């Protein structure tokens, strides 16, 4: 019998600018698409591609879902428990 460890989902937090972008979403389809992308990132924060930049500060990552037409820029906390979304494009 195989023992599987279940990794807890990371908590999602929004930067101030991402929170304002979130407030501007009006359609159910946009909200549903964003929800799906946020679940993917919360389950596997390493799913996005690293964005080249300086070593100072958190490593920005980009997750793009071509089916749902959603793009997220985010970084992951040092312990991997919080994903901070910096930019939302739906």
CA 35, distance to chain mean position in Å, is 10
- Span 17-25, average pLDDT: 93
Q: What is the pLDDT of residue 59?
A: 87
- Span 19-23, average pLDDT: 93
Question: Cβ distance 89 to 70 under 8 Å?
Answer: yes
Give 49-86 pLDDT, tens digit per residue.
Answer: 999 886 777 889 999 998 989 999 999 988 888 999 99
Residue 4 Cα distances to 7, 28, 40, angstroms:
9, 36, 20
pTM, two decimals, is 0.84
Q: What is the pLDDT of residue 2?
A: 47
Give 35-48 pLDDT, tens digit per residue.
Answer: 999 999 999 999 99
């Amino acid at each position: 019998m195989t023992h599987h460890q279940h990794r807890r989902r990371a908590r999602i937090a929004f930067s101030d600018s991402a929170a304002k972008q979130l407030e501007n979403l009006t359609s159910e389809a946009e909200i549903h698409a964003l929800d799906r992308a946020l679940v993917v990132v919360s389950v596997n924060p390493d799913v996005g591609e690293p964005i080249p930049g300086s070593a100072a500060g958190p490593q920005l990552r980009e997750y793009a879902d071509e089916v749902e037409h959603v793009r997220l820029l985010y970084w992951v906390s040092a312990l991997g428990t919080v994903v901070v979304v910096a930019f939302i494009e739906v």
